[in-house]
Structure 1
Amino acid sequence: MEILLRLHPTQRHDKQIEAMNPVQKKFADQRKKLKNLSTRLFNSKTLVLSQTTPYEIIGEYEHAQIRYYASPNKAYQEPLVFVAPLAINMAIYDLYPYRSLIKHFQHSGFDVYLIDWGRLNYAHRHLNFMYFINAAIPHCIEQIRQHSHSEQISLHGWSMAGVFVMLYTAYRQPQIVKNLMVLGSPVDSYASGRIGQLFKRSNQLISRNHKLKQALHQGSIPPHFIHTPGIINALGFKILDPKGWLDSQRQLFLNLHDPQVLHEHATLGSFLNNMIDYPGGINQDMVLNVWLQNPLKNGIIRLKDEHIELKNIRCSLFVGAGQSDQIVTAAAAQPLSQLTSSTDVTFTLIPGGHLGLMSSQKSANEFWPKLTRWLEQRSTKIHKETA
C-alpha cells in the first residue's frame, strides 16, 4: 500500500480532472506535467525509491562493508554473494521496492550478502586488482562463511566485479565457490564493438613506440596520474551509451503525466549521477591491461609478478551478456565459456544493455527467473524437519 501511495500521489487530482470539460482537462494536464517536471528537476531526491530493503552490517574490511539480507523463507544452504563493481553505488542491487534483485533472491529462498566497497576517493588511488582478488574479497568471503555457517557460497559479479570474481576464483582456486555467475564482463575486449576496436587500434599505435608501450603495458605510470573522480565516471558512462541515456530522457518527456515513470527516471538518474572514484591502480589493470592489451582472450593475465589462468576455474559457471549492451557486447563476454575447466557451463543473452541487464523490467521478467532456476538446481536444498 505504501508503495502504491508513493507511485500514485495524484489519484485524487486525476478524478477531479475527469469531471472537467476537454479544454479544462487539457490545461490541467499541462499543469500537472509542468509540476512533475519541476519536481524532477529541482526536488528529485523526494522521488528516489532505491535501497529500501532492510539489511544488517555483519562485517568489514578496511573501507568495505558486508551487507546481509536475510531470506524470510530460507530454502538453500549456500548464500548468494554479490560482489559490487567499483565506481557505482549500491542502488543498482535494490533499485525499486517492486523490482529489486536483492529482494528477488531473498524471496526465492537465498540468504543474500552484498560486498559494498564504500566511497573510494583519491586516498585509495593505489588500489589495484590484486588488492581485491587476493585480499579484500577473500577476507570478506571468510566473514560471510562464518556468519552463514556454510562451507560453500554462490558468487555473483557484474561488469568489473565479474572480472574480480573470475580472477579471484582462478587465482585462489577456492573449493568454497560452488556456483560462479559472471555478467556483462569483458573477456575478449577487442570484440566489444566500436569500443573494442578503438582499444585495438590504440594498442597497435602504442606498440610502435617502445618507451610508450613499456610505460603503459608494464604499469609504470604513477596511480595519481590515472585516478578518475566519480563525476568523470558518471559522464563517461553516459558517453559510452549515449543512445540509452537519450532514450531515457525522451521517455521522461513523453510520460510526464505518469508518476511511475517520474519515480523510476529520478531513481535511475540518482544512481548514474552519484558514481564513485576509480583508483589509479584499478585503471591501470582494467583500462590499460584488460581493455588495451586484451590478455583474457587467451585465458591468462599478468598482474605484477603473478600469472592468473582462467582454466583454474572448475565450479559451475553461468556467463551472461546484455542483448543490447554497447559497453561489453555478447561477443566480448561469451569467450569465458570456453576458457575454463568447468564441466557445467551456461551462457545466455539477457534483455537490456549494460545497466538494463541488471535492472530493466524485461530482465526482471525473463532473466531473473532463469538465473534463479539455474542457481536452485545447483544449491543444497534445506530439508526442514516436520513436526
Structure 2
Amino acid sequence: MALPILGLPRRLGAAGTNLSDKLHRRPIADLRALPRDIVERRTSYTLYRYNAVPGTAVRGRPVLLVPPLAAPALAFDLRRGCSVVEYFVQRGRPVYLVDYGPVSFAHRGLGIEHWVDSVVPSAVETTAEHSGADGVHLAGWSLGGIFTMFTAAAHPDLPLASATAVASPFDLRRVPLLALARPVDRIAGALVGPAYRAMGGVPAPLTRLGFQLSSLDKYVTKPLAMLTHADDRDFLAQLEAVDRFMGEMYAYPGRTFGQLYHVVMRSNEFATGTMELAGRIVELAKIDVPVLVVAGTGDTLAPLPAVRHLIDLVTGSPDAQLVQAPGGHLGVLTGRAARRTTWPAMEKFFVKHDD
C-alpha cells in the first residue's frame, strides 16, 4: 500500500524490479539506434537515411533533421519508444539526418557560415536527389534550428518544402539565464576571446556543464524524482537515455563560439532577423517557404518569448505557425510528452506542405 506522506510509489512490486535492475546495472532504456544507411560521407558531415518500417508505405516528402553543435545527433533518436526518428518512420515518412560528428581542435576555424553555406545546403541537395523528392522538410533543434532558418534565407534556390525550428531562441534578451551572465561578461569578457582561441573552442565538459545549469532544478531534484517514480519504468528509461545523451556532449569550435558569444552577450543580432555571413547580409525576411516554430513551455535555455520572436522575423513566409508544447530544451524535442504534442504537430505541418 502506498504511503503518500513519504512519496512512496503505489506499485511496490514494479519499483522493486526497477531497483533491482538499477543495482545490477541492467539497462532499463532500450538505447538501440534505429537502423540506417549512410547516404554520403564527407569530411565535415555524414548524411544518413533511416530504414523504412517493413510493411509501412513510404509517403510524403522527406524530413532532414539538423542537430546543433556540441549536442550529439542522437537527440533525434534518444531511445526506442521515445524517438523523433521512430515516430516519423513509423508513419512512412522518409527521414534523413545530417551528423557533424565530434568537434576537435582542427575545427577551430569553422564559423556559422560553414554550416549555413556548406554543410546544410549540401545535405539538402543530396537528400532531394537521393529521395527523388522535389522538396525537403528541413527541421533543426536548438542551434540547428538557427542553422535551418539562415540556410533557408541565404539559399532560396534550395529544394525546400518547409523549414522548422524547435527550441531555437532568436531574441536572446528574453533569455533570463543570459541576463545573469552579462555582468560577468562586463568584468571578464576581455579574457573570453584569448581563452577559447587558445583552446581552439569550448571543451565538451564545459558545454555539458552549461546544458546542466540550464535545468539545474531537475538535477538537484533527480534523486527524489527517481524515488517517487520508482515504479514508472518509462520515466526511469527516459532518465537513463538523457544521461547517455549528456555523457556524449561535444566541444564547440572556436570561431563559431566566438560568433555566438558576440551575438549572445553583445549585439543580440539574431533578434534583428539579419546576420552578416561570409561578407554579405542574410535576412530571415527573405525566407519564402512555410515555417514552423516550436517552443517549449518549460524551456529555460530557449524560453517562449525568445523562440516566438522568430514568427515576427519571417515576414516573407507564406505560412508561419507557432506551436507551444510542454517540456524543457531537450524535452520539447524528445520528452515523453512530445509523442502527443511536438511530433504530431510537426507531422501535421509536413502533411499540409507535402503537396
C-alpha contact (below 8 Å) 1:61/1:140 kept by paired residues: no
- In structure 2, the residue matched to 1:262 is 236
Deviates further, 332-341 or 362-371? 362-371
The question of 1:88 aligning with 2:63 is answered: no
C-alpha change, 1:28 and 1:308, in structure 2 (3 Å) is: closer
- In structure 2, the residue matched to 1:195 is 177
Distance 1:267 1:373 in 2: 27
Secondary structure at 2:41 match in 1: strand
**CA displacement at 1:124 relative to structure 2:** 1.5
Secondary structure at 2:252 match in 1: coil
Alignment deviations for residues 18-39 of structure 1 (CA, whole Å, 9 cap, x no partner): xxxxxxxx99999767644434
C-alpha contact (below 8 Å) 1:190/1:200 kept by paired residues: no
Secondary structure at 1:346 match in 2: strand
- In structure 1, the residue matched to 2:42 is 61
- In structure 2, the residue matched to 1:356 is 331
Per the normalisation by structure 2, the TM-score is 0.87
Distance 1:313 1:54 in 2: 34
The question of 1:114 aligning with 2:97 is answered: yes
Distance 1:144 1:343 in 2: 23
- In structure 2, the residue matched to 1:134 is 117
The question of 1:365 aligning with 2:340 is answered: yes
Secondary structure at 1:154 match in 2: strand
C-alpha change, 1:187 and 1:260, in structure 2 (3 Å) is: closer
Q: Aligned letter for 1:239? A: L
Distance 2:181 2:276 in 1: 18
The question of 1:102 aligning with 2:77 is answered: no
Q: Aligned letter for 2:282? A: I
The question of 1:310 aligning with 2:284 is answered: yes
Alignment deviations for residues 324-360 of structure 1 (CA, whole Å, 9 cap, x no partner): 1000111101111111211211012111111110111
**CA displacement at 1:201 relative to structure 2:** 5.3
C-alpha contact (below 8 Å) 1:108/1:372 kept by paired residues: no
C-alpha contact (below 8 Å) 2:293/2:321 kept by paired residues: yes
Distance 2:119 2:287 in 1: 19
Per the normalisation by structure 1, the TM-score is 0.80
Q: Aligned letter for 2:72? A: N
Distance 2:12 2:178 in 1: 50
The question of 1:223 aligning with 2:206 is answered: no
- In structure 2, the residue matched to 1:334 is 308
Give the alignment partner of residue 319 of structure 1, picking from 272, 275, 293. Answer: 293
Distance 2:201 2:22 in 1: 36
The question of 1:52 aligning with 2:29 is answered: no
C-alpha contact (below 8 Å) 2:28/2:233 kept by paired residues: no
**CA displacement at 1:113 relative to structure 2:** 0.0
5 Å-filtered alignment, 1:287-306, equals 287-303=261-277, 305-306=279-280
C-alpha change, 1:51 and 1:37, in structure 2 (3 Å) is: closer
Distance 2:252 2:33 in 1: 26
Secondary structure at 2:341 match in 1: helix
C-alpha change, 1:244 and 1:31, in structure 2 (3 Å) is: closer
Deviates further, 314-323 or 223-232? 223-232
C-alpha change, 1:262 and 1:353, in structure 2 (3 Å) is: closer
**CA displacement at 1:246 relative to structure 2:** 2.9
Unaligned stretches of 5+ in structure 2?
A: 1-10
Distance 1:220 1:74 in 2: 54
Secondary structure at 2:323 match in 1: strand
